[in-house]
Structure 1
Amino acid sequence: MTEIYRRRTVRPLQKVIHLKLTDTGQRLCGLEYEAAKPMATVFHAGDPKVDAVKVSCPVCEALAVLLNEAHQLAVEDHFGIDNGRRRQAA
């Protein structure tokens, strides 16, 4: 049975999950671990308890979207796909 919080609880962040480059294995954002410290996490009554508070690095996530878009544009240019009819990303 999963334990739940009985009242509002604030827990400090314990781990930031970084995305890594496939070729070098380095963090996508290039930030040191201390530089990407989000604020403490708030849990409300009824939320399930977790062993460790983990969050994704917001800089890594933003860079991943940009790299994906750049890769898509490069593929379209390489294969001569008409970019004028391409859907715009949000």
Structure 2
Amino acid sequence: MSDDVATVTLTIDADDDTTDEVEVPAGLLDLVAEGDQSSAETVGDVVLLSFASRAHHIVHHGHDADEELEAQEQHIMDLFEERFGVTFGEATGHQH
């Protein structure tokens, strides 16, 4: 049955001239898209949310976060707020 699921393939280009492709079910893109977001915008939102979530977990629920790691976490949180218009804590209900 999973062979019958329509997918969308997105290409990721990095500043270091590397690329990767990710294939995701089209229906999931439609499910999580906000309004008339493109597939690329939707995946971009999910990527930023994922990085913010992972950084938060490592810094606040992991072990031995140093100043550099805390600065990285703060920067991703700033990027999150810039993109979504709310803080990570406001968006997730998880605040410290």
TM-score of the superposed pair, with normalisation by structure 2: 0.27
Larger radius of gyration between Structure 1 and Structure 2: 1
Higher-RCO chain (CA-CA 8 Å, sequence separation at least 6): 1
TM-score by length of 1: 0.29
